[in-house]
Structure 1
Amino acid sequence: MSSTSENVDMLSNLPRDLLSHILSLMPAKFAMQTSILSKNWRYIWKLVTNLDFSDLDIIDLDTKSIHALNCFYEFVDRVLEHHKASQVNILRLRFPCGWFPHSCVSKWISDAVRLNVSELDIPIFPRGLVELPFDLFTLKSLKLLKLYVDGFRFDVDALKFPSSVNLPSLKTLDIYSFGKPPVNAFKLIHGCPLLENLSLTVSWCSDEQEFVFNIPTLKRLKLDTPDCSSVIKKVVFKGDIQATTQAQATSSVNTIQRRQPSMMQRLHNFSLVKCNAM
């Protein structure tokens, strides 16, 4: 037997758990392509724990053809429908803004819930009221949630929300609210009892805003307020944040009220950021 054959046999005979871990380090399209290597590799891709669809070479994006986009949808559908892992660590998708139906996104999120995903990073195009599976808002396994629109965060107040949110494991949340009081944003925030990292962007506010963050577990907060400098009047912190560093604020906030005297000294990596409109 040749040296090359021996090396192939050694790799193929590794435990399935180890092989699936190796494939989890690859983009989804490469992991799936290993199914043609041999009989032993045929179904390993169904066990990977990281599903990264952010490599847009899956389709020819230069053409933006309906056929190419349908191929992308079918690829994602096939991977998620046939996936056999009991839990997926990461589900990440990236594709052109405005070129995908909400029904696809809703289905993929339902698959993510079924697979007990830990980190969900997915874009949603804001065209009317969007209804996502309510199971997403009570998913016990979810630790990170990012809702984007082709590089921009999605307006969570364009989502149809359940009456209550309970994400008991969520530690990182990155969301966007546009043009109105961020009611859903704070409903989502307050449904995360272990939240440590929060990035909240609020833009094009028309009414005066007061933000109250009652999050005892919070370690990092980024509040981005483009185009809202004249209406954000107060940011209030409640609770005892266990961390150390300095805080900085910009002119977008007129008042910072501290309910605990040592809050700003213990707040880790806090920033209030005002960005110029593009």
Structure 2
Amino acid sequence: MSSARKTIDRLSSLPEELYSHILSLMPTKDAVFELNKTSQVNKFRMHYVNWRVAGDIISKWINKAVALYVCELDIRVFNTDLRSYGSLFEFISGCPILENLSLEISTYCWKKDYNIKIPTLKRLNMKLSTYKLESTYNFCLNVPNLEYLSVDGFLCSFFEMEDLSSLVEYQWLNDLPLPKFANLKRLELKGYNGLGMLPQFLESCSELKHLCIEKDVIDFWKEPSYIPTCLLMNLKTLKYTEHRCYHFDMKFLMLMLGNSKVLKMLTFKRDTNLSLKEKERIIKLPRASSDCEIRFYEIGLVNTCSLTS
């Protein structure tokens, strides 16, 4: 064994801070070689920028990472020409212990049906869009252990969710058909028509405990035909952010406060300051919960006003 190799082998026995400092002073090639031998390193990141990387090189990176039992792999390839998006989903399905997946695809035209069936997946962020409105596709999720789901993008045709029995948090950013979320505890609604879709969400989330609404300027509220179960039994916190107040906002707050029997906190945020008269109107609204506290925040300012009755 060469003296240089002996010197490198001794590095792993040094204190962690000193070991890391020495690695930072070494040439990249030698540092990577040293990291490949030690069991002390759990996370390693290397940023490589090159506009021209052959496809077989990327395949070698992935194969090597799998062989070394890498738990997290982030490869971003821009301006690539995939002959078939089906191959992408085949690659995803080939990850038998995948737990966290972020997927963002923009394409000119979707033409196939796609199925994500990953029993181990726990977190999924999806943004799928097309530049051609007449695109047709079916997108199916079968993820029984999923706990967090975020869906965004301009989606066409059918979006189906077969098994979401473990879901506890869902962020909705588009107008999609809703399944039943039997175990959902936290929900965020943002953007255009988020408030208008709220009745459908409340009816689909019987166990909902925490609700966050960021209302669009031109959003509209439609009162539900009956009181959802989650308001009567489970909802504990409500965060409501608006940018302009209309008469139907007061009707919305009246419904939420008047029927949420176990509500503990209403947080009201606005980008313009509420007058004392407006605050008093909200405070005087009937409350089904005797323990409910109301807090007012002005967006962008540190000062807050906490008022209870």
* TM bin (shorter chain): 0.5 to 0.7
In the alignment, the residues of structure 2 paired with residue 51 and residue 221 of structure 1 have an alpha-carbon distance, to the nearest angstrom, of: 37
Q: Which structure would you say has the larger Rg?
A: 2
Once the two structures are superposed, residues 156-198 of structure 1 have per-residue CA deviations (whole angstroms, 9 ceiling, x without a partner) of xx32345xx2x2322221224745973x432323333432332
Q: TM-score, length-normalised on structure 1?
A: 0.56
Count of residues in Structure 1 that have an aligned counterpart in Structure 2:
222
Partners of 1:168 and 1:207 lie apart in 2 by: 24
Structure 1 contact 202–226 (Cα < 8 Å) conserved: yes
User: Is 1:89 matched with 2:122?
Assistant: yes
Distance 1:229 1:142 in 2: 34
Measured at CA, do residues 7 and 271 of structure 1 come closer, stay the same or move farther in structure 2, by a change above 3 Å?
same
Query: Letter of the aligned partner of 2:150 in structure 1?
Result: D
- Whole-angstrom distance in 2 between the partners of 1:139 and 1:118: 8
Aligned pair partner of 1:239 in 246, 257, 261: 261
- 2:156 is equivalent to residue 114 of structure 1: no
For 2:211, the equivalent position in structure 1 comes to: 198
For the Cα contact (< 8 Å) 2:126–2:150, is it kept in 1? yes
Equivalent of 2:89, from 77, 82, 89? Answer: 77
For normalisation by structure 2, the TM-score amounts to 0.51
Q: Does 1:141 align with 2:166?
A: yes
- Residue 229 of structure 1 is matched in structure 2 by 246
- d(CA) in 1 for partners of 2:136 and 2:122? 23
Counterpart check, 1:186 vs 2:194: no
Write the distance in 2 (CA, Å) between the matches of 1:217 and 1:32: 49
1:58 matched residue in structure 2: 77
Distance 2:85 2:245 in 1: 37
User: 1:214 Cα shift?
Assistant: 0.7
1:160 corresponds to 2:177: yes
**Match of 2:25?**
none
Letter aligned with residue 160 of structure 1: P
Q: Is the 8 A contact 2:190 2:213 kept in 1?
A: yes
* Alignment root-mean-square deviation, CA: 4.9
Residue 231 of structure 1: SS of its match in structure 2? helix
Q: 2:152 aligns with which of 113, 120, 123?
A: 123
The DSSP-based 3-state class of the residue aligned with 1:257 is: coil
DSSP 3-state at the match of 2:89: helix
Give identity over the alignment, percent.
13
